Amino acid sequence: MAFRRNGAKQAGLTSMVQLRLFPTTEQSVALAAAAKVANQAANVVSVLAWRQQCFGRVALHRLAYLAVRAEVRGLGAQAANLAIAQVHAAYANRRATRKRAHVFRPHGAVPYDARMLTFNRAARTASLWTPTGRVHIAYAGRDADRHAIDTLPVGEADLVFRGGKWLLQVTVTHPKPEVNEPEAGFLGVDQGLANLAVTSDGVVLPGKALPGTIAGNGHIRGLRRRRHRQRRRLQRKGTPSARRVLRRLAGRERRMMTDVNHQISSHVVREAERTGRGVAMEDLRGIRGRVRAHRFQRRTLHGWAFAQQAAFTRYKAALAGVAFVLVDAAYTSQCCPRCGCVSRRNRPARGRFDCIRCGLAGHADHIAALNIARRGVEGWGTVNSPHATGLPSARRDRESKPPVSVGGG
């Protein structure tokens, strides 16, 4: 994942680029040996760590360094360091995995750092450590990825063997762009169950605005429903093979959601950038027990997918210099953006908004997104102006006109 590694520690933003390596047969053997040795080392360290219940990076180094170098032949000093760091990371913040020793697959990713991996950018070759010596291997990648390698500081990398291909997944650091003043206001994004996102422009996502077939047709709901029924059936069965299928389905669904979240967040940030706006989303932390909590706790969509969409959007906004704010999620679905009337009765039916005071009617998620956009403007003002009044949003709503007219739905 692009957002995990080093993200917080470095001054800039990191992302991951993927290069394909073209090793000769001999070099391929050397890379396979590197994968074997590295994962063997990680397993040795992992067992030591788990036995001693020692997971701190420094303590683990003290405990495992000499042992792993003695036990795993061909392991260099730096490869040993990285194996220890890898084990530390595997156990960090994941209490569940501490129940037993974490196992690294023999063909799992091999971590590399600047001492073990260098690029010859002119020749487009990468020089990689292997247990049998350095190998210099030609690489290729998408234009943007090659350009990133050519121009940006390179951090850690993973060597991965997948689908018969050797890949290098390299972390690069982007300079942090200045955040542009959102002159034209904010694009509000309402996250929901029926529609994963609806913008204050009335764009429903996933939907026609997205390029992919699944996301573009908005077929996700149907897919999820089918998966859910399939899951229920398998859970009732409860056999080991059923459990295996369940795990595979869960993985597939997670990947699909991640892909869709990438598409949604890209669209939203691109749209905001194009129109000189910032992006506003609801702050869903601590939403439990709040008015709209039920919308985010249904069995069919886990909270992580909402959090992921927000995280992707925030990250991409930062890369593009687009302002991003999280706003208070209270009553965004019951508040009228025209007259400010807040009432549960503004929602006569599922998916409908119909203001009992002024008669403003529309698609409920779109109305919510308009409220979120408004709160984005207010939130930005509060953050950036020392003399901001900080009026409660419901009252501010009453004092101003809606930013755009709302079509029926």
Which parts of this chain interact with Zn ion (CB under 5 A)? 336, 338-339, 341, 355, 357-358, 360
Least distance CB 170 / Zn ion (angstroms): 52
Among 135, 142, 109, 137, residue whose Cα is nearest residue 123: 137
What gap in Å lies between CA 88 and CA 42, rounded to an integer? 10
CB 197 within 8 A of CB 305: no
Least distance CB 337 / Zn ion (angstroms): 8
What gap in Å lies between CA 181 and CA 322, rounded to an integer? 8
Q: Is the peptide bond before 131 cis (omega within 30 degrees of 0)?
A: no
Least distance CB 346 / Zn ion (angstroms): 7
Phi/psi of residue 235, nearest 5 degrees: -65, -40
According to DSSP, the residues that pair with 332 across neighbouring strands are none
Least distance CB 406 / Zn ion (angstroms): 10
Amino acid, single-letter form, for residue 226? R
What gap in Å lies between CA 173 and CA 212, rounded to an integer? 28
Q: How many CB atoms lie within 10 A of CB 140?
A: 11
What gap in Å lies between CA 141 and CA 139, rounded to an integer? 7
Phi/psi of residue 190, nearest 5 degrees: -100, 125
Least distance CB 359 / Zn ion (angstroms): 7
Within 8 A by CB and 6+ apart from 25, the residues are none
What gap in Å lies between CA 217 and CA 398, rounded to an integer? 37
Which of 198, 406 has the CB closer to Zn ion? 406
**CA 397, 403, 404, 405 torsion-angle sign:** positive
Burial class (CB in 10 A: 0-12, 13-18, 19+), 19: buried
What gap in Å lies between CA 257 and CA 93, rounded to an integer? 23
Which of 313, 332 has the CB closer to Zn ion? 332
CB 373 within 8 A of CB 403: yes
In the block, tokens 């023999």 appear at: 106
In the block, tokens 């002024």 appear at: 358
Among 203, 175, 173, 208, residue whose Cα is nearest residue 190: 203
